[in-house]
């Protein structure tokens, strides 16, 4: 059994230890393996032998020794590889070490490295969870419901690509930093959504991924407290995760926001999220994560669907639409318009979206149309849309929910209305 | 973190520097002055960036003495290296942010005009803690 106290101690140390080993010896790929083995050794030894006086030093030493072993077997197995040190351009060779950063930045450097643009999003996520989150390959594979061998291959390919890129262990140059930070935030967001609304498989939520995304985002926020979008992302994750306890029923079934017991929402997360939103919004400029956090805040503050400030939500979605070309934002905007101005206004917007190739085969478009048709009283058309949505989703709880709505409508008279939600 | 950058040379390379006739052509005074000037300004910049710990050159390999014990009695051999064996000729110790930076610095110590020349970089052990556990 893993010891929770030791686990809590080890996870934040993981990127610090890896950073220290890479700084001293290089070899990103093997250093990562060596650090994992040191963490594993600690997880098995410390609960029995006790926690050493200097846990970080212990881990660095053990990882360093393990790296020596790995290098020796690596050298014995294959011929020495000559890596072209791309960064050693003679004209900048002796630039003063202005970038000598405090060691706390190692976590950031690792995040930038794991979210390198040469990697696919799936590889970025897997590598981030391992190298920065300190999760084992088996844990990551379980979280993403793929065989461990598949995840092992994905991670080793990602590490190989990073090795080939030959980048030195340092923060990206200032000119690239904003863009690269965007990639980091996107990966954290994807880890969260994968945990919060699983795209496949029998369980609707894999809470450990959502919790890990929040933990990592907190870390980044602590390192760069003045960045508005990091603050916005942390607020968004907290305000969304706050609803998790009410989002599923006893049998794991999906409960839409309109029908959730708001008393079960996580009041601490809501308070923390609201404080972050009100701290960051006046600062400007307002980015997409801040806007989504502001929308989530309006939902979380409202005592009920009816009492929600829908016109304000419509206005925020319109600002968001100016910033992003995301069809899901357009879809959520349509829902908000329907809630503020009646279902027909929403249906008109959904009608324009169904020709968007990115949405045409997404269950969410059909689910939203079904809700709005139901709200408008067109039960026959609503039922068809629920069935179409159920066919398209990969998530079994969502399927059960959508089939359930469709079956219920078959028994209803044509005038009764129920409420639409944006949360399905 | 400290790293030692090691530079190598054979007795023959030292002879080239001293102008002594060998199989290789001797360096001119102008070339040697340029090399000294380069090394001096290189290390000056390292000192300015706060990364220089120490840098030393070693005298010609012919001056080396090898000491062994024979029945616990020291026995000294003069000039133990063959003419063409590459041996340590000098070192630069730097303290810098990472091995990547040490490699960057080391690249500046390789003569771009000498085909096949190389230097080695090795992390220096921080203390006894590095060896324990």
**Token pair for A376:** 């408008």
pLDDT reported for residue A90: 45
CB environment A78-98: b (16+ within 10 A), e (fewer): eeeeeeeeebbeeeebbeebe
Asked if the Cβ–Cβ distance from B104 to A93 is below 8 Å, we say: yes
Look at residue A63 and tell me whether its pLDDT is greater than 90.
yes
- The confidence score (pLDDT) of residue A385 equals 94
What's the token pair of residue A23? 């700084």
For residues A274-278, average pLDDT:
96
Above 70 in pLDDT, residue A6?
Answer: yes
pLDDT band at A53 (very low <50, low <70, confident <90, very high): very high
State whether residue A4 is helix, strand or coil.
helix
What residue in A sits closest to B2 (Cα-Cα)? A24
Compare CB distances from A100 to B97, B107, B108 and report the shortest one's residue.
B97
pTM of the model: 0.78
Collect all residues with Cβ–Cβ distance below 8 Å to A117 and sequence separation of at least 6: A180, A183
For tokens 């092992």, the residue is A152
CA A119 to CA A154: how far, in whole Å?
10
Residue A407 has pLDDT above 70, yes or no: yes
pLDDT in tens, B67-117: 999 999 999 998 899 988 999 999 999 999 899 999 999 999 998 888 888
Report how far apart, in Å, the C-alpha atoms of A127 and of each of A64, A134, A170, A178, A187 are: 20, 10, 18, 21, 10
Q: Is the pLDDT of residue A189 over 50?
A: yes
Cα A376 to Cα B91: distance, rounded to the nearest angstrom: 82
Cis bond before residue A285 (omega within 30° of 0): yes
Of A26, A62, A97, the CB nearest to B97: A97
Q: Which residue has the higher pLDDT, A396 or A379?
A: A379
| pLDDT for res A422 | 45
CA distances, A58 to each of A40, A53, A348, A405, B129 (Å): 13, 8, 63, 57, 9
Residue given tokens 């601490």 in the structure block: A268
Please name the member of A25, A93, A170 whose beta carbon is closest to the beta carbon of B108.
A93
Please tell me the predicted confidence (pLDDT) of residue A354: 85
8 Å CB contact of B108 and A90? yes
- Extract the tokens encoding A80: 């020495």
pLDDT at position B19, please? 77
CA-based nearest distance B122→chain A, Å = 9
Return the pLDDT at B15.
Answer: 86
B11 pLDDT more than 60: yes
Distances in whole angstroms, Cα of residue B113 to Cα of each of A172, A404, B57: 32, 78, 20
Q: What b/e sequence results for A135-154 when a residue is b if at least 16 CB atoms lie within 10 Å of its CB, and e otherwise?
A: bbbebbbbbbeeeeeebeeb
Chain-chain contact of A62 with B103 (C-beta, under 8 angstroms): no
Of B48, B123, B130, the CB nearest to A96: B48
> Closest by alpha carbon to A368, among A394, A349, A395, A396?
A349
Contact between B97 and A87 using a beta-carbon 8 Å cutoff = no
Mean pLDDT of A351-358: 86
**What's residue A198's pLDDT?**
60
Q: At A209, is the pLDDT very low, low, confident or very high (cuts 50, 70, 90)?
A: confident
Query: At A7, is the pLDDT very low, low, confident or very high (cuts 50, 70, 90)?
Result: confident
Q: Which two tokens stand for residue A400?
A: 């059960």
Q: Please list every residue in chain B whose beta carbon sits closer than 8 Å to the beta carbon of residue A96.
A: 45, 48-50
- Find the mean pLDDT for residues B27-40: 89
How many residue pairs bridge chain A and chain B with CB atoms within 8 Å of each other? 71
- The pLDDT, as a whole number, for residue B130 is 56
Q: Which is more confident, B114 or A119?
A: A119
Measured between CA atoms, the residue of chain B closest to residue A59 is B133
% residues pLDDT > 90 (chain B): 59
**A395: confidence class by pLDDT, cuts 50, 70, 90:** confident
Query: How sure is the predictor about B25, in pLDDT bands with cuts at 50, 70 and 90?
Result: confident
Residue among B49, B50, B99 whose CB faces A24 most closely:
B99
Q: Does the pLDDT at position A270 exceed 90?
A: yes
Q: Which residues in chain A have Cβ-Cβ distances shorter than 8 Å to B129?
A: 57, 61
Work out the pLDDT band at A311, boundaries 50, 70, 90: very high
Does the pLDDT of residue B9 top 60, yes or no? yes
Q: What is the pLDDT of residues A67-107, one digit of tens each?
A: 988 988 876 655 555 555 544 444 445 554 444 555 557 88
Q: What percent of chain A has pLDDT over 90?
A: 55
Dihedral angle of Cα A371, A373, A378, A381, to the nearest 10 degrees: -90
pLDDT digits (tens, 9 = 90+) for A13-42: 999 999 999 999 988 999 999 999 999 999
Average pLDDT value for chain A: 86
Indicate the pLDDT class of residue A202, thresholds 50, 70 and 90: low
Would you place residue A421 in the very low, low, confident or very high pLDDT band (cuts 50, 70, 90)?
A: very low
Per-residue pLDDT, averaged over A262-281, amounts to 96
């Amino acid at each position: 059994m893993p010891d929770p106290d030791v686990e809590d101690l080890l996870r934040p140390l993981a990127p610090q230890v890896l950073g220290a080993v890479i700084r001293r010896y290089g070899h990103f790929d093997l250093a990562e393996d060596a650090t994992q083995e040191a963490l594993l050794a600690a997880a098995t030894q410390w609960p029995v032998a006790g926690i050493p006086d200097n846990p970080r030093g212990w881990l660095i030493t053990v990882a360093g020794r393990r790296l020596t072993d790995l290098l020796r077997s690596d050298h014995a197995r294959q011929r020495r590889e000559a890596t072209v040190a791309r960064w050693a351009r003679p004209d900048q060779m002796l630039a003063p070490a202005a970038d000598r950063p405090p060691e706390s930045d190692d976590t950031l450097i690792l995040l930038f490295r794991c979210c390198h643009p040469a990697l696919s999003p799936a590889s970025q996520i897997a590598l981030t969870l391992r190298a920065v989150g300190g999760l084992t390959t088996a844990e990551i594979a379980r979280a993403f419901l793929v065989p461990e061998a598949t995840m092992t291959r994905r991670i080793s390919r990602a590490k190989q690509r990073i090795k080939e890129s030959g980048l030195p262990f340092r923060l990206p140059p200032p000119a690239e930093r904003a863009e690269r930070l965007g990639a980091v935030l996107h990966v954290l967001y994807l880890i969260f959504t994968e945990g919060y609304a699983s795209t496949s498989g029998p369980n609707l939520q894999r809470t450990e991924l959502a919790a890990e995304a929040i933990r990592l985002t907190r870390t980044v926020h602590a390192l760069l407290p003045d960045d508005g979008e990091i603050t916005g992302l942390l607020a968004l994750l907290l305000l969304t995760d706050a609803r998790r306890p009410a989002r599923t029923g006893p049998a794991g079934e999906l409960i839409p926001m309109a029908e959730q017991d708001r008393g079960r929402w996580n009041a601490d997360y809501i308070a923390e999220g609201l404080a972050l939103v009100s701290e960051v919004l006046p600062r400007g400029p307002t980015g997409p994560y801040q806007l989504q956090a502001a929308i989530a805040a309006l939902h979380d503050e409202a005592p009920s669907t009816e009492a929600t400030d829908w016109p304000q939500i419509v206005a925020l979605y319109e600002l968001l639409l100016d910033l992003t070309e995301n069809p899901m934002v357009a879809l959520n905007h349509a829902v908000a318009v329907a809630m503020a101005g009646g279902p027909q206004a929403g249906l008109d917007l959904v009608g324009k979206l169904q020709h968007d190739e990115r949405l045409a085969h997404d269950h969410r478009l059909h689910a939203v149309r079904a809700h709005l048709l139901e709200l408008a009283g067109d039960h026959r058309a609503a039922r068809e849309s629920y069935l179409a949505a159920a066919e398209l989703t990969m998530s079994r709880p969502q399927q059960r929910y959508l089939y359930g709505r469709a079956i219920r409508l078959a028994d209803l008279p044509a005038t009764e209305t129920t409420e639409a939600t944006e949360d399905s | 973190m400290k790293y030692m950058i090691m530079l190598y040379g054979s007795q023959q390379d030292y002879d080239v520097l001293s102008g002594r006739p060998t199989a290789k052509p001797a360096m001119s005074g102008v070339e040697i002055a340029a090399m000294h000037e380069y090394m001096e300004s290189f290390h000056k910049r390292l000192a300015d960036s706060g990364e220089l710990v120490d840098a030393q050159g070693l005298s010609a390999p012919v001056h080396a003495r090898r000491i062994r014990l024979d029945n616990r009695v020291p026995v000294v051999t003069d000039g133990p290296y063959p003419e063409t064996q590459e041996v340590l000729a000098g070192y630069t110790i730097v303290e810098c942010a990472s091995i990547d930076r040490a490699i960057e610095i080391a690249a500046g110590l390789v003569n771009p005009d000498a085909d096949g020349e190389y230097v080695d970089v090795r992390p220096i052990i921080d203390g006894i803690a590095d060896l324990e556990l």
